[in-house]
Structure 1
Amino acid sequence: MDNEQVEKRMNAGIDRLSNLPDDLIHKILSFVGIKHAIELSFLSSRWRYIWTSMPHLNFLIEDFSASAELSRFVTHLLSRRNNLIEVFSVKLCFGGDFSQEFVRQILNYAFSHNIQQLDITWLYENTIEFPLSLICSQSLTHLSMRREYVYQTVRRYGFTSTSTLELPALTTLYLHDFTLCCDENIDKDIGLFSKCANLKILTLKGCKVIGSDHLNICHPLLSNLTLEDVQGSLNVVNVISPQLKSLTINDWFEKYQFLISAPNLVSLLYKGYHSLDLYTDGFHLLEKVDLCVTGGIASAHKIVCLFQHLQSVKYLTLNLEILELLSSSAELMLNQPSPFTNLKSLHIYPIKEVWELQNKVKISTEVKNYLLDNSPSATFTEVSREVFYLCVYIHVLCVVLIALGFKEVYMFVSLCLICT
């Protein structure tokens, strides 16, 4: 085959990427910053203007050397983008030297083009005030605001807000490292997110609430709630959500009372240093519960009281240290009927290694009977500390072997484990 034939074949060849539909090309380009998407326009004439109709706008700080460059780029982009095309999503990743006005410019454009998903990540060590009133949209359904640490330091809350959200279409809200200020302008009785009537998924991670001793989360449509390391001036977390199905609480620092009204709750996961201080009007549909209490000051009495609220659970997972704590106060369960009548599975696992224990406590027969007597057909699985951490160490060893290129040794170790 001569050069002329090769050239003809190349010229006649199909550019597979260019033959893809616009929607798929837009999706591919959504995984890179909008600046790189524009730079890719030289690939073919088909791609030359495709960036002007992109519904996904990703502004990444690493794509620009200074805020002035980014500001000029934004002005250029928004003036040349096809104004008839709606904006589906915006990802904005910026540092502390970027002005609020720059953020406002992008947000206003997105809100005027019926944005549905907004993801803001802030990379900086200091705190900035970000009025939630900046986010005003009738179309926004997903909002994520988070802080990522440039350098790992003592936690400082990246965003501070003194206003409430008013997003009628919002269904998913994720806030990370946010200070929520309850001042005189906010009705503390109805909550910070009361004007998000369609909210279904709410995650507060590493947030701080100041100006109020209670956090109210009252949403008729909320189905999934995650509260992780929420701190501040709180004493009480009050949740009223008739449609709530899944509740996750990670509480390693503070000790709150949780007042939960969620008659349709199906799944409860709690991890914390203290016993869960829970008050509820009943979880009649509860199926799955995972409790992990690690603190040395955990109360056996409060754990027994907690079990009374979980009577309908079918699949119960407890860390071994809970059973050891109960075994040291077995008299609390003497002549007490088991609260669990629907239990199908009880799984026990350790979180502390043997060397971390001051006194190893044997799990008493009274505790096992208390948990299982009213569910005789339930399966009971207990993983010992020795087996648990042996598996952990072997897993780490296998990861190291793969990283070092010893894949055959890894496969041999895996085969030995299967055979045993």
Structure 2
Amino acid sequence: MDFVRDTTSIIEEGEKEEENKDRISNLPDELIHHIVSFLDMKYAVQTSALSHKWEHIWTSIRCLNFNICAFRTPRLFAKFVKDALSHQNNHVEESKVQLTITGAATPSVVKSIVNNVYLHNVRDLNMTWLTTRKFHQFPECLFSSDTLKHLTLATGDQSFYLHKASCIPKVAWNFPALETLCLRSMHLGDKGDESLDLFSKCVNLRDLTLHNCCMYGLKIFNICAPELTNLTIRATSYPDVVHVVAPKLENLTASVRGTINRFPFKYVSLQLSTEGFDSLEKVNLSLSMPYYEPKRFFPLLLSLFQKLHSTKYLVINLDIIEVLILTLFLLYVA
């Protein structure tokens, strides 16, 4: 019986030691870096206090998440971003920075943050500026980088306020190395602007997404990109004409109608002008709320189909099919 008790005691002690063992620290460094990359950088830095092994872990992660909400003031946030970037391991390639900024940050603070990000040759930047009713404009320095390859810019999803004024500079953006660009809930151009050409200097741009963007009142929006292969346009409001010069375009996804859902209540449709799509492989078209004057969209759809005649695969949603069938039926009855 004594032997049984001794054996049980040994097993229990062994189980306790196993429970207290730091299993996370024994994981491969690459996996630890991946786990820490999901943390906000303020908390990632604090992991350095866990043990000697963790002291420099945060300096080698590839995805750096900075959120201004974790700081008392915007200036403290800007200083933290600067210090954190300066301590990053220079041997880590293809680093990604994710910035989340609120309307409390002044344009000068945002400019300082962006300058520090570009100073460290970041390849991938994802920046969200959660604006409020007070208007803020992205600093011009944000739109010029020799090394940036991937860029995502977004504001808060407040389509009503997107009609006020453009939040970006109206000159060609200087991104010679940029390959992918995603703009979300951005106001592009102002009412009465004749033409806007943002991407002509993005000579290596291959993937462009305009999601929930507003081009209200703009006459011509130019998309001139010689290497562009994938284009997605889903706007809250379209300009008079979207002019596309993209000889290597293979995939096009677009909503035929703008999706403005607040007053002033107005529907604006995609009017496409091209210089030929010789490489077009697949087109995916969608139409929301087709029951509002469906006959009005029949000639628009025919015009789009004619411009996209070279595509190999055309995908249309059920709303477009309903418009086509209903309009043809009404014409037959008449």
TM-score range, shorter chain: 0.7 to 0.9
The normalised TM-score by structure 2 is 0.77
Q: Which SS does the other structure have where 2:113 is aligned? A: helix
Q: Which residue of 2 aligns with 1:166?
A: 174
Check the 8 A contact 2:82/2:116 in 1, yes or no.
Answer: no
Give percent identity, aligned residues only. 32
> Residue deviations 1:140-191, cap 9 Å, x none?
1110000124xx67343686122331111111111123233489xx9958x2
Check the 8 A contact 1:91/1:120 in 2, yes or no.
Answer: yes
Q: Which SS does the other structure have where 2:187 is aligned? A: strand
Paired with 1:84 and 1:23, the residues of 2 have a C-alpha distance of: 14
Check the 8 A contact 1:133/1:165 in 2, yes or no.
Answer: no
Q: Shift in Å at residue 293 of structure 1?
A: 4.4
Q: Which residue of 2 aligns with 1:241?
A: 246
Partner AA of 2:45 in structure 1: I
Q: Which SS does the other structure have where 1:165 is aligned? A: coil
Q: Which SS does the other structure have where 1:328 is aligned? A: helix
Partner AA of 1:266 in structure 2: E
Q: Shift in Å at residue 11 of structure 1?
A: 10
Q: 2:237 aligns with which of 219, 225, 231?
A: 231
Partner AA of 1:255 in structure 2: S
The normalised TM-score by structure 1 is 0.63
> Residue deviations 1:120-156, cap 9 Å, x none?
111121321113433432221110000124xx67343
Q: Structure 1 residues 22, 188: closer, same or farther in 2, change over 3 A?
A: farther
Q: Which residue of 1 aligns with 2:285?
A: 270
Q: Which residue of 2 aligns with 1:196?
A: 202
Q: Which residue of 2 aligns with 1:283?
A: none
Paired with 2:111 and 2:39, the residues of 1 have a C-alpha distance of: 22
Q: Structure 1 residues 8, 248: closer, same or farther in 2, change over 3 A?
A: closer
Check the 8 A contact 1:182/1:211 in 2, yes or no.
Answer: yes
Q: Which residue of 2 aligns with 1:286?
A: none
Say what the alpha-carbon RMSD is for the aligned residues. Answer: 3.5
**Relative contact order (alpha carbons < 8 A, sep ≥ 6): 1 or 2 greater?**
2
Partner AA of 2:124 in structure 1: Q
Q: Shift in Å at residue 258 of structure 1?
A: 0.7
Q: Shift in Å at residue 12 of structure 1?
A: 9.8
Q: Which residue of 2 aligns with 1:134?
A: 142
Partner AA of 2:162 in structure 1: R
Q: Which residue of 2 aligns with 1:358?
A: none
Runs of 4+ aligned structure 1 residues displaced above 6 Å come to none
Q: Which residue of 1 aligns with 2:272?
A: 258
Q: Shift in Å at residue 197 of structure 1?
A: 0.4
Q: Structure 1 residues 303, 81: closer, same or farther in 2, change over 3 A?
A: closer
**What is the total number of aligned residue pairs between the two structures?**
307
Q: 1:35 aligns with which of 42, 48, 58?
A: 42
Q: Which residue of 2 aligns with 1:96?
A: 103
Q: Which residue of 2 aligns with 1:222?
A: 228
Check the 8 A contact 1:164/1:193 in 2, yes or no.
Answer: yes
Paired with 1:161 and 1:307, the residues of 2 have a C-alpha distance of: 32
Q: Which residue of 2 aligns with 1:321?
A: 322
Partner AA of 1:46 in structure 2: K
Q: Which residue of 1 aligns with 2:66?
A: 59
Paired with 1:182 and 1:217, the residues of 2 have a C-alpha distance of: 17
Q: Which residue of 2 aligns with 1:108?
A: 115
Q: Shift in Å at residue 212 of structure 1?
A: 5.3
Structure 1, gaps ≥5 residues long: 274-291, 333-420
Asked which structure has the greater CA Rg, the reply is 1
Paired with 1:187 and 1:156, the residues of 2 have a C-alpha distance of: 19
Q: Structure 1 residues 96, 325: closer, same or farther in 2, change over 3 A?
A: same
Partner AA of 1:247 in structure 2: L
Q: Is 1:298 aligned to residue 290 of structure 2?
A: no
Paired with 1:169 and 1:115, the residues of 2 have a C-alpha distance of: 12
Q: Shift in Å at residue 10 of structure 1?
A: 4.5
> Residue deviations 1:89-122, cap 9 Å, x none?
1100011111233333332233232211100111
Q: Shift in Å at residue 23 of structure 1?
A: 3.2
